[in-house]
Structure 1
Amino acid sequence: MSGATPVVTTQAPAPAGPYSQAILAGGFVFIAGQTPKLLDGTRLLDRPFDEQVRQTMENLRAVAVASGGTLADAVKVNVFLRPGCDVAAFNAIYETYVSHPLPARITTISDLAVGDVEIDAVLWLG
Protein backbone atom coordinates (compact mmCIF):
# COMPACT_ATOMS: atom_id res chain seq x y z
CA MET A 1 0.00 0.00 0.00
CA SER A 2 2.49 2.57 -1.22
CA GLY A 3 1.73 6.16 -0.21
CA ALA A 4 -0.70 5.16 2.53
CA THR A 5 -0.02 5.80 6.20
CA PRO A 6 -1.97 4.20 9.05
CA VAL A 7 -3.36 6.38 11.82
CA VAL A 8 -3.06 4.95 15.32
CA THR A 9 -4.41 6.60 18.45
CA THR A 10 -5.09 5.53 22.01
CA GLN A 11 -7.79 8.21 22.20
CA ALA A 12 -10.22 5.90 20.38
CA PRO A 13 -10.89 2.18 20.84
CA ALA A 14 -8.45 -0.19 19.18
CA PRO A 15 -9.73 -1.94 16.04
CA ALA A 16 -11.75 -5.08 16.68
CA GLY A 17 -10.08 -6.89 13.79
CA PRO A 18 -7.27 -6.73 11.24
CA TYR A 19 -7.73 -3.13 10.05
CA SER A 20 -6.39 0.35 10.79
CA GLN A 21 -8.29 3.01 12.70
CA ALA A 22 -7.72 5.21 9.65
CA ILE A 23 -5.51 5.48 6.59
CA LEU A 24 -3.99 8.70 5.24
CA ALA A 25 -3.62 8.63 1.45
CA GLY A 26 -3.36 11.41 -1.10
CA GLY A 27 -4.67 14.16 1.16
CA PHE A 28 -7.61 12.04 2.29
CA VAL A 29 -8.21 10.26 5.59
CA PHE A 30 -10.33 7.12 5.47
CA ILE A 31 -11.65 6.47 8.98
CA ALA A 32 -12.77 2.93 9.75
CA GLY A 33 -16.23 2.30 11.15
CA GLN A 34 -16.58 3.52 14.72
CA THR A 35 -19.10 2.07 17.14
CA PRO A 36 -20.37 2.81 20.66
CA LYS A 37 -17.31 1.40 22.36
CA LEU A 38 -15.24 2.78 25.24
CA LEU A 39 -11.45 3.00 25.19
CA ASP A 40 -11.19 -0.19 27.23
CA GLY A 41 -13.19 -2.08 24.59
CA THR A 42 -16.49 -2.13 26.50
CA ARG A 43 -19.39 -1.99 24.05
CA LEU A 44 -22.35 0.14 25.11
CA LEU A 45 -24.91 -2.29 23.68
CA ASP A 46 -27.46 -1.82 26.46
CA ARG A 47 -27.18 1.97 26.71
CA PRO A 48 -29.77 4.44 25.37
CA PHE A 49 -29.54 5.30 21.67
CA ASP A 50 -28.41 8.90 22.25
CA GLU A 51 -25.52 7.73 24.44
CA GLN A 52 -24.45 5.21 21.80
CA VAL A 53 -24.51 7.89 19.09
CA ARG A 54 -22.47 10.35 21.19
CA GLN A 55 -19.83 7.72 22.03
CA THR A 56 -19.59 6.71 18.38
CA MET A 57 -19.18 10.34 17.30
CA GLU A 58 -16.55 10.91 20.01
CA ASN A 59 -14.61 7.90 18.71
CA LEU A 60 -14.88 9.23 15.16
CA ARG A 61 -13.73 12.68 16.31
CA ALA A 62 -10.73 11.20 18.17
CA VAL A 63 -9.51 9.37 15.07
CA ALA A 64 -10.06 12.51 12.94
CA VAL A 65 -7.92 14.55 15.35
CA ALA A 66 -5.22 11.87 15.44
CA SER A 67 -5.06 12.08 11.65
CA GLY A 68 -4.37 15.80 11.78
CA GLY A 69 -7.91 16.90 10.95
CA THR A 70 -11.30 17.39 12.52
CA LEU A 71 -14.83 16.36 11.64
CA ALA A 72 -15.13 19.76 9.93
CA ASP A 73 -12.88 18.19 7.26
CA ALA A 74 -15.38 15.38 6.57
CA VAL A 75 -16.48 15.16 2.94
CA LYS A 76 -18.30 11.80 3.10
CA VAL A 77 -19.92 9.97 6.00
CA ASN A 78 -21.54 6.53 6.04
CA VAL A 79 -24.03 5.91 8.84
CA PHE A 80 -25.43 2.50 9.74
CA LEU A 81 -28.37 2.32 12.14
CA ARG A 82 -30.25 -0.68 13.50
CA PRO A 83 -33.88 -1.03 12.43
CA GLY A 84 -36.21 1.09 14.56
CA CYS A 85 -33.62 3.70 15.53
CA ASP A 86 -34.79 7.30 15.63
CA VAL A 87 -33.16 8.97 12.60
CA ALA A 88 -34.31 12.44 13.73
CA ALA A 89 -32.64 11.91 17.13
CA PHE A 90 -29.49 10.72 15.35
CA ASN A 91 -29.50 13.80 13.11
CA ALA A 92 -29.87 16.16 16.08
CA ILE A 93 -26.73 14.73 17.70
CA TYR A 94 -24.82 14.33 14.43
CA GLU A 95 -25.32 18.01 13.55
CA THR A 96 -23.49 19.04 16.73
CA TYR A 97 -20.33 17.27 15.47
CA VAL A 98 -20.16 18.29 11.80
CA SER A 99 -19.86 21.71 10.13
CA HIS A 100 -21.17 23.45 7.07
CA PRO A 101 -20.85 22.63 4.31
CA LEU A 102 -22.24 19.36 5.60
CA PRO A 103 -20.50 16.25 4.27
CA ALA A 104 -22.21 14.00 1.76
CA ARG A 105 -23.85 11.15 3.65
CA ILE A 106 -25.65 7.89 3.32
CA THR A 107 -27.75 6.36 6.10
CA THR A 108 -28.33 2.63 5.88
CA ILE A 109 -30.56 0.53 8.09
CA SER A 110 -28.56 -2.55 9.08
CA ASP A 111 -28.85 -5.40 11.55
CA LEU A 112 -25.67 -4.39 13.40
CA ALA A 113 -24.14 -6.69 15.98
CA VAL A 114 -22.02 -3.91 17.53
CA GLY A 115 -24.74 -1.64 18.92
CA ASP A 116 -27.35 0.66 17.41
CA VAL A 117 -24.92 2.70 15.29
CA GLU A 118 -21.71 2.49 13.27
CA ILE A 119 -20.16 5.41 11.39
CA ASP A 120 -17.20 5.78 9.07
CA ALA A 121 -15.94 8.91 7.34
CA VAL A 122 -13.64 10.29 4.69
CA LEU A 123 -11.83 13.54 5.46
CA TRP A 124 -10.05 15.84 3.00
CA LEU A 125 -6.91 17.44 4.46
CA GLY A 126 -5.57 18.78 1.16
Structure 2
Amino acid sequence: MKKIIFTENAPAPIGPYNQAVLVNGVLYTSGQIALNPLTMELVLDSIEIETKQVMENMKEVLAAAGMTFENVVKTTIFIMDMNDFAKINSVYSTYFDEKTAPARETVQVAGLPKGVNIEISIIAVL
Protein backbone atom coordinates (compact mmCIF):
# COMPACT_ATOMS: atom_id res chain seq x y z
CA MET A 1 0.00 0.00 0.00
CA LYS A 2 1.32 3.44 -0.82
CA LYS A 3 1.41 6.35 1.58
CA ILE A 4 1.54 9.93 0.32
CA ILE A 5 4.17 12.05 2.06
CA PHE A 6 3.55 15.78 2.43
CA THR A 7 5.11 18.54 4.49
CA GLU A 8 4.48 22.26 4.53
CA ASN A 9 8.23 22.65 5.17
CA ALA A 10 8.98 21.89 1.51
CA PRO A 11 7.45 23.44 -1.61
CA ALA A 12 3.90 22.30 -2.27
CA PRO A 13 3.32 20.40 -5.51
CA ILE A 14 2.22 22.63 -8.36
CA GLY A 15 0.70 19.88 -10.47
CA PRO A 16 -0.71 16.35 -10.37
CA TYR A 17 2.05 14.82 -8.25
CA ASN A 18 3.10 14.51 -4.59
CA GLN A 19 6.29 15.45 -2.78
CA ALA A 20 6.96 11.77 -2.13
CA VAL A 21 5.35 8.35 -2.01
CA LEU A 22 6.29 5.63 0.49
CA VAL A 23 5.73 2.03 -0.65
CA ASN A 24 6.89 -1.05 1.30
CA GLY A 25 9.53 0.94 3.16
CA VAL A 26 10.88 2.63 0.02
CA LEU A 27 10.50 6.39 -0.42
CA TYR A 28 10.33 7.81 -3.93
CA THR A 29 10.57 11.60 -4.05
CA SER A 30 9.55 13.98 -6.77
CA GLY A 31 12.29 16.25 -7.99
CA GLN A 32 12.96 19.26 -5.80
CA ILE A 33 14.00 22.62 -7.16
CA ALA A 34 15.14 25.72 -5.28
CA LEU A 35 11.77 27.05 -4.20
CA ASN A 36 11.59 28.66 -0.78
CA PRO A 37 8.66 26.77 0.82
CA LEU A 38 7.49 29.83 2.77
CA THR A 39 7.31 32.24 -0.16
CA MET A 40 7.30 29.83 -3.14
CA GLU A 41 9.91 32.15 -4.66
CA LEU A 42 12.95 30.74 -6.44
CA VAL A 43 16.33 30.98 -4.71
CA LEU A 44 18.78 31.47 -7.58
CA ASP A 45 21.50 33.72 -6.12
CA SER A 46 24.28 31.25 -7.05
CA ILE A 47 24.46 27.57 -7.97
CA GLU A 48 25.73 26.82 -4.46
CA ILE A 49 22.80 28.60 -2.77
CA GLU A 50 20.39 27.02 -5.24
CA THR A 51 21.78 23.55 -4.49
CA LYS A 52 21.56 24.16 -0.74
CA GLN A 53 17.88 25.14 -1.04
CA VAL A 54 17.17 21.98 -3.04
CA MET A 55 18.90 19.84 -0.42
CA GLU A 56 17.12 21.58 2.45
CA ASN A 57 13.79 20.98 0.72
CA MET A 58 14.71 17.33 0.31
CA LYS A 59 15.75 17.14 3.98
CA GLU A 60 12.22 18.24 4.96
CA VAL A 61 10.56 15.69 2.69
CA LEU A 62 12.75 12.96 4.19
CA ALA A 63 11.87 14.13 7.71
CA ALA A 64 8.16 13.99 6.88
CA ALA A 65 8.68 10.30 6.05
CA GLY A 66 10.65 9.70 9.27
CA MET A 67 13.97 9.54 7.43
CA THR A 68 17.27 11.40 7.05
CA PHE A 69 19.94 11.50 4.36
CA GLU A 70 21.32 8.31 5.95
CA ASN A 71 18.31 6.49 4.46
CA VAL A 72 19.04 7.64 0.90
CA VAL A 73 20.21 4.89 -1.46
CA LYS A 74 19.99 6.71 -4.83
CA THR A 75 19.97 10.28 -6.06
CA THR A 76 19.44 11.69 -9.50
CA ILE A 77 20.75 15.17 -10.21
CA PHE A 78 19.62 17.07 -13.28
CA ILE A 79 21.71 20.14 -14.11
CA MET A 80 21.66 22.72 -16.86
CA ASP A 81 25.43 23.17 -17.07
CA MET A 82 27.98 20.43 -16.40
CA ASN A 83 30.50 23.19 -15.68
CA ASP A 84 28.61 23.69 -12.38
CA PHE A 85 29.26 20.08 -11.31
CA ALA A 86 32.14 20.83 -8.90
CA LYS A 87 30.21 23.64 -7.17
CA ILE A 88 27.10 21.48 -6.88
CA ASN A 89 29.13 18.56 -5.59
CA SER A 90 30.78 20.71 -2.91
CA VAL A 91 27.34 21.52 -1.42
CA TYR A 92 25.80 18.08 -2.06
CA SER A 93 28.70 16.33 -0.32
CA THR A 94 27.98 18.13 2.98
CA TYR A 95 24.71 16.18 3.30
CA PHE A 96 26.26 12.70 3.08
CA ASP A 97 29.00 10.68 4.74
CA GLU A 98 31.33 9.79 1.87
CA LYS A 99 31.75 6.22 3.15
CA THR A 100 27.98 5.55 3.07
CA ALA A 101 26.93 7.96 0.31
CA PRO A 102 24.16 6.81 -2.03
CA ALA A 103 24.51 5.75 -5.63
CA ARG A 104 24.10 8.75 -7.91
CA GLU A 105 23.81 9.92 -11.46
CA THR A 106 24.23 13.45 -12.72
CA VAL A 107 22.74 14.39 -16.06
CA GLN A 108 22.99 17.61 -18.02
CA VAL A 109 19.61 18.54 -19.48
CA ALA A 110 18.28 21.05 -22.00
CA GLY A 111 15.78 22.60 -19.60
CA LEU A 112 14.28 22.38 -16.11
CA PRO A 113 11.03 23.65 -14.54
CA LYS A 114 10.82 27.41 -13.97
CA GLY A 115 14.23 27.92 -15.59
CA VAL A 116 16.18 26.57 -12.59
CA ASN A 117 19.72 25.24 -12.84
CA ILE A 118 19.34 22.06 -10.77
CA GLU A 119 16.71 19.50 -9.76
CA ILE A 120 17.29 16.49 -7.51
CA SER A 121 15.18 13.42 -6.80
CA ILE A 122 15.97 10.57 -4.43
CA ILE A 123 15.07 7.04 -3.40
CA ALA A 124 15.41 6.20 0.29
CA VAL A 125 14.68 3.12 2.41
CA LEU A 126 13.60 2.64 6.01
Q: TM-score, normalised on structure 2? A: 0.91
More helix by share: 2
Moved more, 62-71 or 106-115: 106-115
RMSD: 1.2
List alignment gaps of at least 5 residues for structure 1. Answer: none
Written as runs of structure 1 = structure 2, the 5 A alignment for 1:32-111 is 32-39=30-37, 40-45=39-44, 47-99=45-97, 100-110=99-109, 111=111
1:122 maps onto 2:123 in alignment: yes
Give the structure 1 partner of residue 112 of structure 2. Answer: 112
How many residues were matched structurally? 122
**Structure 1 residues 85 and 38, CA gap change in structure 2 (3 angstroms):** farther
Take 1:81 and 1:6, find their aligned partners in 2: how far apart are those partners?
A: 27
Take 1:79 and 1:85, find their aligned partners in 2: how far apart are those partners?
A: 14
List alignment gaps of at least 5 residues for structure 2. Answer: none
Q: TM-score, normalised on structure 1? A: 0.91
Take 1:48 and 1:96, find their aligned partners in 2: how far apart are those partners?
A: 17
How much identity, in percent, do the aligned residues show?
33
